[in-house]
Amino acid sequence: MHDTPDRPTTSGTPAAPPVVVPDTMRAVVARRYGTSEVAMIEEIPVPTPAKDQVLVRVRASSMNALDWHFVTGTPYLVRLVNGLRRPKRIIPGADVAGVVVAIGAEVTDHQVGDSVFGECFGGGCAPYLAVRGEYVVALPEGVSFEAAGATPVAGLTAVQGLRTHADVQPGEHVLINGAAGGVGTFAVQIAKAMGAEVTAVCSTRNVEMVRSLGADTVVDYTTTDIVDGGPRFDVMLDNVGNRTPAECRSMLLAGARYVAVSGPKDKNWLGPIPHLFRTWFALRRSGASFHQFTTSFDTEDLTYLAELLASDAIVPAIDRVIGLDGVADALTELGTGHARSKIVVVPDSPTQER
């Protein structure tokens, strides 16, 4: 074990006692591409923060579809970013909530002992994580680590889809396709916070959960076809990509915005790109605009999420809490495209059902 010194203090002010950080830790590691069998628990060194990083004692992270894509290396375009033959990002978990235990020499916005949450390029499925200081913000008072750990990637995706790309206005009619997943459960609540009227599409087992999030109308796609004579919308946030371009066009009003968060999980080089291209082409002459984006970190958006969490305008829907031993099974579930709400990872706890 080694001590991590606190930030230098002014003369006469006693320094806080050093935080003892172990030299090694148990973490989920995927050193090659594959399905859940490649995610193994290993004993690895605790990272040392670079000059612009903070070392966070991870209290909670969560699983996202992003983790499945990086672990499997599909669509194969992912490998252009993450390594052609072997992954560069070997520890899943792009969300983090925890306590700062060490800081780099150039970090000025955080101190040892701060509770923070934010987004990282993997590493959340481990007890310690080094992340750039600008990628985490203060954890709001009264918000749990589990709630904060469930929020960043899915919450930022929903915010950027609805606020940045769809520019949702109060009173507009918003359709959330795939409302029971990680992004969908946040999107329902964020759209309501923006003053929209929300129609949410999900399966039978998720109807009551999605309704409890505040959706004005919940459509069970197993019993009702929203396309057939259904209402038309100002915004469609599509988390699934299971509708044909013609069907998407038929559900949108003139001047509507179609925002694609995800598409079919085709395991090939192009993945959902052909489907997205066909949808873009179909909407060109419909009077609706097409928006597809990759979620990017934005401090303002993360701060906005912190405010929504603090005010209870959003309450993360958590399906269950797992330990590191449950990550492989969670990856398998994400790969089906039918994961329910958020799966939170607490590195020091065994898997437990909720």
**Three-state secondary structure readout of 112-173:** CCCEEEEECCCCCCCCEEEEEHHHEEECCCCCCHHHHHCCHHHHHHHHHHHHHHCCCCCCCE
Give residues with Cβ within 8 angstroms of 155, minimum separation 6: 186, 190, 305, 314, 316
Asked if residue 114 lies in contact with residue 101, where contact means CB atoms within 8 angstroms, the answer is no
- Confidence label for 323 from pLDDT (cuts 50, 70 and 90): very high
Weakest-pLDDT range from 43-47, 220-224, 286-290: 286-290
- Confidence label for 8 from pLDDT (cuts 50, 70 and 90): very low
Mean pLDDT for 39-50 is: 97
Distances (CA, A) of 76 to 37, 54, 173, 271, 284: 19, 32, 36, 8, 28
Q: How far apart are CA 43 and CA 21, in angstroms?
A: 15
Look at residues 323, 327, 302, 294 and name the one whose alpha carbon lies nearest to residue 119. 302
Look at residue 354 in the predicted model and tell me its pLDDT.
38
Kindly tell me if the per-residue pLDDT of 167 is higher than 80.
Answer: yes
Q: How far apart are CA 75 and CA 258, in angstroms?
A: 22
Kindly tell me if the per-residue pLDDT of 16 is higher than 60.
Answer: no
Mean pLDDT for 16-28 is: 87
- For residue 295, report the phi and psi dihedrals to the nearest 5 degrees: -60, 135
- Confidence label for 13 from pLDDT (cuts 50, 70 and 90): very low
CA atoms within 13 A on the CB side of 145: 20
**Other CB atoms within 10 Å distance of the CB of residue 333:** 17
pLDDT tens-digit readout, 209-254: 999 999 999 999 999 999 987 789 999 999 998 899 999 999 999 9
Burial 45-73 (b: 16+ CB within 10 A, else e): ebbebbeebbbbbbbbbbbbbbbbbbbbb
Q: Which residue has the higher pLDDT, 10 or 275?
A: 275
Look at residue 12 in the predicted model and tell me its pLDDT.
45
Q: Which residue has the higher pLDDT, 352 or 66?
A: 66
Weakest-pLDDT range from 36-40, 158-162, 336-340: 336-340
DSSP 8-state assignment for residue 90: -
